[in-house]
A and B are shown apart, each in its own frame.
Chain A
């Protein structure tokens, strides 16, 4: 639990797959940021799920996102990970890559990992195979057909199993894990991808108090070496993370600051308690 066995990547380094969509050197606000959303809007059948949303995540930062239901938290993640294309606005990764021009697989390979609200693991695979598939590797069809497990991969998987405390469940079929174990396995899978930015949707949902506490610890450890964006409802959980908070409301940023600052904000109180 003390060390995340992930090679620390330079937050400014661009992975080989990440192409330059913006000419290097062009002065933009995005320079120096890991993730930069500017004036992003998207509508579904006339409903504005995201409305002129702007946000900057710095390299190495951990950020919590809160907001009432329908505030656009999940849609925002969909836009960053390429599932949804915004109607307008820029989404710039590492100051160089326009994410709106890429699909889910390409964005994942650039180093953005996503954990879903409902734990989503490969239920008929063993815990081991779940992690094996998640490991950063050449994911093209024919290399995958002929690749055998290597010593390095075994070591890495063992580290991840220890980290997520699933060591004893190595050969267990993921479908038979408990809810909390699945959440942890999914976080392990996310780390196996060796991403630079982790997007984590409600990691504490459905967990016991003890599990929630452990999860907060785990995320804080992960944040030592990764940039993390966490969406959560649980205020105690956010408080235990002790990070900068962004409040979303009706698809745009309502307030930003420490948890104490935003909780003192009159408009945030109105939104959460109802007018």
Chain B
């Protein structure tokens, strides 16, 4: 009953119904209020959350938004992207460029315009593609546009040529690897191996102050909540039903008259923009962006978060990202040498015993309010005989 009714209830309202959605949004917004308040408590209070933890969890929220982006393409449209780390990193670089320009003449070399690494490499003037990044609004536009345009162009060629399945996954890996190599080069003008770092201010406020840290946490939580609502809106719309149709029987959708490649380009681009926004919020909280973010292994890790949380369930992706990263923070300190084995084992076990992830487990246990139509049927392709 839920599927046909929830869409008839209206647009944004319809996107925010369902128990899972209400709980998820409630938790995110609750954290957005509670964590900064606890951080503002006086030192020595037993409930005080240290600023370090605020930023750590702010970082996790960015990862959760990234996982949401991957779930949108993978869980709902069957596009297994192993290159979403690239869109995340590009959004991060756009933010990093703004933060570099905010340093102004306070760098080590005191140059009024050029960032330190450019002075060090004997650049004489700012490359053209750095223009405008001193303007916050322009930089934020680029955070969305650069990953969006790359995803649109990539998707246009890949989906129009009907590259699917494992072949698509491989070329997304190739894409992020190519960008990794490109950004490693000093000539690219993005700081090469060291990337962009030593940030000072954001919108004129000191990045290291508790207030800005809290602000970034709140911004990350809000971005996650808005990203969740946007994904909910898309996946509960009629377009969302087409995405699931494409995932389950691509050629059937085509013979029904749907231009599958247009749908894929749309959802891939939207997903890349979300990933870019996540990257932009991530960079000021960790204080650095370097080519390591493009590493193919990063993109694979995102897929593990989503698989573990439950692909095809938006809250599952968020849960997976948070759970794996919290576990990672603990294990890499407590047992640094076994972390990767643990992660690998987790992935193998999930794939074997929980193909729908933790969220799927909830639906098996008949947890009410998860909605229908998001679960997985066996993948069937039309037209073979």
Contact = CB atoms under 8 A, between A and B. Distances in A.
Interface of A: 74, 78, 81, 83, 104-105, 108-109, 113-114, 116-118, 120-126, 128-129, 132-134, 139-141, 144-149, 171, 173-175, 189, 193, 201
Contacts of B259: 105, 139-141
Interface in B233-273: 234, 237-239, 241-242, 244-245, 248-249, 251-260, 262-263, 266
Interface in B358-385: 372-378, 380-385
Given A126-B372, A141-B239, A146-B237, A133 B380 contact: no
B237 A145 contact: yes
Contact of A105 (B3, B10, B254, B385): B254
B7 interface: yes
A166 B261 CA distance: 32
A83 B375 CA distance: 29
B8 interface: yes
Nearest to A114: B255
B4 interface: yes
Given A122-B248, A125-B241, A189 B256 contact: yes
A116 B257 contact: no
A117 to B, nearest CB: 5
Nearest to B257: A108
Contacts of A122: 244-245, 248-249, 252-253
Given A74-B385, A141-B263, A145-B234, A108 B254 contact: yes
A148 B8 contact: yes
B1 interface: yes
A113 B254 CA distance: 11
B52 interface: no
Contacts of A104: 251, 254-255
A105 B242 contact: no
Given A120-B380, A124-B377, A144-B238, A133 B254 contact: no
Interface in B62-79: none
Given A83-B251, A122-B245, A122-B249, 10 more contacts: A120-B252, A121-B249, A124-B376, A128-B4, A129-B4, A133-B253, A144-B242, A148-B238, A193-B256, A193-B257
Contacts of B8: 148-149
A105 B238 contact: no
Contacts of A108: 254-257
6 contacts: A74-B385, A83-B255, A108-B257, A122-B248, A124-B375, A133-B241
B1 A171 contact: yes
Contacts of B11: 146
A146 B234 CA distance: 9
Given A139-B259, A148-B7, A148-B8, A124 B239 contact: no
Interface of B: 1, 3-4, 7-8, 10-11, 234, 237-239, 241-242, 244-245, 248-249, 251-260, 262-263, 266, 372-378, 380-385
A134 B234 CA distance: 19
Contact of B266 (A105, A132, A141): A141
A145 B238 contact: yes
B249 A126 contact: no
Contacts of A173: 372-373, 375, 377
Contacts of B377: 123-124, 173-175
Contact of B383 (A116, A132, A146, A175): A116
A48 B307 CA distance: 45
Contact of B258 (A105, A124, A174): A105
Nearest to B267: A141
A193 B253 CA distance: 12
Nearest to B266: A141
Contacts of A145: 234, 237-239
A149 B4 CA distance: 9
Contacts of B234: 145
Contacts of A121: 249, 252
A213 to B, nearest CB: 24
A104 B254 CA distance: 6
A140 B260 CA distance: 10
Contacts of B237: 144-147
A171 B373 CA distance: 10
A173 B1 CA distance: 11
A49 B244 CA distance: 33
